């Protein structure tokens, strides 16, 4: 659909569907089912328009809890890293920054002015080390998105189940249960499992060595997985499962 013939209502709807968690492609497909023909690129332009419109609200608005979601897009024929900053109370996208979320120093430079201007106290992110470093350096609390956590850690646990066999199934099930329930003291229990695995001296790149590294990583970052237990106002999910 040509933008000249796209109604403001349709543009707002497509941007809203994206903000609710659908990808640009999924948004275009859903609207097609409603007999509204929009390309994924048109949906993305609607998102950018929404970002421009809310930019004027930033000067007077305080945002204590900010979500940061990275993506990769082709701009002018080249792949670029982008980070979308989302106000978590209403799910409103506030800023789009051209920065690779994996680059800790670049992430700090790009986000520091925005974080200070908004008065951010809590970050909701995926489990990348760059976000962890950002939160630590700025003294911010961090909640790792449950969806991202269970996706990457669950994938690794399933891989280890296939490689380690029945002998290690109970321990893997224990790790999976701790991840699912995230009980108080779960980090210390994981640390105890890591100590037991360390005594076996596994090769670092062997399946058992990878299990040891996984358990240590989960133990070290446990507090960022459980912030919502201490502050119920903090959302546990950054990206709904409907958005890939």
* Three-class HEC string of the chain: CCHHHCCHHHHHHHHHHHHHCCCHHHHHHHHHHCCCCCCHHHHHHHHHHHHHHHHCCHHHCCCCEEEEEEEEEEECCEEEEEEEEEECCCCEEEEEEECCCCCHHHHHHHHHHHHHHHCCCEEEECCCHHHHHHHHHHCCEEEECHHHHHHHHHHHHHHHHHHHCHHHHHHHHHHHHHHHHCCCCHHHHHHHHHHHHHHCCCCCCCHHHHHHHHHHHHHHCHHHHCHHHHCCCCCCCCCCCCCC
The pLDDT-based confidence of 22 (bands split at 50, 70, 90) is: low
Mean pLDDT estimate for the chain: 83
The pLDDT-based confidence of 187 (bands split at 50, 70, 90) is: very high
Q: Are residues 140 and 180 in the same domain?
A: no
Whether the per-residue pLDDT at 211 is higher than 90: the answer is yes
The pLDDT-based confidence of 19 (bands split at 50, 70, 90) is: low
Per-residue pLDDT, 112: 95
Measure CA of the first residue to CA of the last residue in the chain; give whole Å. Answer: 24
Residue 199 belongs to some domain of the structure: yes
Whether the per-residue pLDDT at 5 is higher than 50: the answer is no
Per-residue pLDDT, 93: 76
Residue 233 belongs to some domain of the structure: no
Last residue of a domain, one of 144, 171, 186: 144
Per-residue pLDDT, 238: 76
Q: Are residues 208 and 221 in the same domain?
A: yes
- Range in 88-102, 107-121, 152-166 the model is least confident about: 88-102
Per-residue pLDDT, 243: 43
231 phi/psi in degrees, rounded to 5: -135, 95
Q: How many domains does the chain have?
A: 3
Residue 79 belongs to some domain of the structure: yes
Place of tokens 């920054």: 97
Mean pLDDT in residue range 157-166: 96
Q: The domain that contains 99 carries what CATH number?
A: 3.30.420.10
Q: Are residues 203 and 139 in the same domain?
A: no
Residue 234 belongs to some domain of the structure: no
Last residue of a domain, one of 32, 55, 78: 55
**CA distances (Å), origin 61, targets 106, 111, 148:** 25, 17, 28
Per-residue pLDDT, 202: 95
Residue 230 belongs to some domain of the structure: no
Of 60-64, 163-167, 191-195, highest mean pLDDT? 191-195
97 phi/psi in degrees, rounded to 5: -115, 135
Residue 112 belongs to some domain of the structure: yes
**Torsional class of 205: left (φ above 0), alpha (ψ -120 to 50), beta (otherwise):** alpha
Q: Are residues 162 and 188 in the same domain?
A: yes
Last residue of a domain, one of 144, 177, 206: 144
The pLDDT-based confidence of 151 (bands split at 50, 70, 90) is: very high
102 phi/psi in degrees, rounded to 5: -80, -15
Whether the per-residue pLDDT at 7 is higher than 70: the answer is no
Q: Are residues 18 and 69 in the same domain?
A: no
Task: With 0.75 as the threshold, say if the pTM is over it.
Answer: no
Per-residue pLDDT, 40: 63
Q: From 33, 22, 38, 224, select the one nearest 127 (Cα to Cα).
A: 224
Residue 232 belongs to some domain of the structure: no
Mean pLDDT in residue range 227-240: 83
Which domain does 78 fall in, by range? 58-144
Return the higher-pLDDT residue of 60 and 211: 211
Return the higher-pLDDT residue of 238 and 60: 238
The pLDDT-based confidence of 86 (bands split at 50, 70, 90) is: confident
Q: Are residues 71 and 140 in the same domain?
A: yes
Listed in sequence order, the residues at least 6 apart from 40 whose beta carbon sits closer than 8 Å to its beta carbon are 23, 24, 25, 27, 28
- Residues 224 and 214: their CA atoms lie apart, in Å, by 15
Q: Are residues 117 and 177 in the same domain?
A: no
Tens digit of each residue's pLDDT (9 = 90 or more) over 168-186? 999 999 999 999 999 999 9
Q: Are residues 155 and 105 in the same domain?
A: no
Q: Are residues 80 and 116 in the same domain?
A: yes
Q: Are residues 63 and 126 in the same domain?
A: yes
Q: Spell 175-191 as b/e; 16+ CB within 10 A means b.
A: bbebbeebeeebbebbe
Whether the per-residue pLDDT at 223 is higher than 60: the answer is yes
């Amino acid at each position: 659909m040509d933008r000249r013939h796209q109604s403001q209502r349709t543009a707002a709807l497509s941007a809203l569907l994206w903000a609710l968690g659908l990808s640009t492609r999924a948004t275009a497909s859903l609207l097609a089912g409603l007999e509204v023909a929009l390309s994924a690129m048109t949906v993305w332009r609607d998102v950018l328009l929404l970002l421009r419109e809310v930019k004027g609200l930033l000067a007077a608005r305080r945002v204590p809890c900010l979500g940061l979601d990275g993506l990769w897009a082709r701009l002018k024929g080249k792949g670029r890293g982008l980070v979308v900053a989302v106000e978590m109370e209403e799910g409103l996208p506030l800023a789009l920054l051209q920065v690779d979320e994996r680059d800790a120093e670049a992430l700090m430079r790009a986000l520091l002015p925005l974080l200070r201007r908004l008065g951010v106290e809590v970050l909701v992110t995926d489990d990348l080390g760059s976000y962890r470093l950002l939160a630590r350096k700025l003294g911010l609390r961090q909640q790792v998105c449950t969806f991202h956590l269970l996706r990457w850690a669950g994938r690794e646990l399933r891989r280890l189940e296939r490689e380690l066999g029945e002998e290690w199934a109970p321990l893997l099930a224990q790790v999976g249960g701790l991840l699912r329930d995230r009980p108080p003291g779960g980090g210390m229990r994981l640390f105890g499992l890591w100590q037991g695995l360390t005594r076996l001296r596994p090769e670092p790149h062997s399946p058992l060595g990878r299990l040891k590294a996984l358990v240590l990583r989960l133990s070290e970052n446990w507090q960022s997985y459980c912030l919502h237990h201490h502050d119920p106002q903090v959302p546990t999910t950054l990206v709904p499962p409907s958005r890939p």
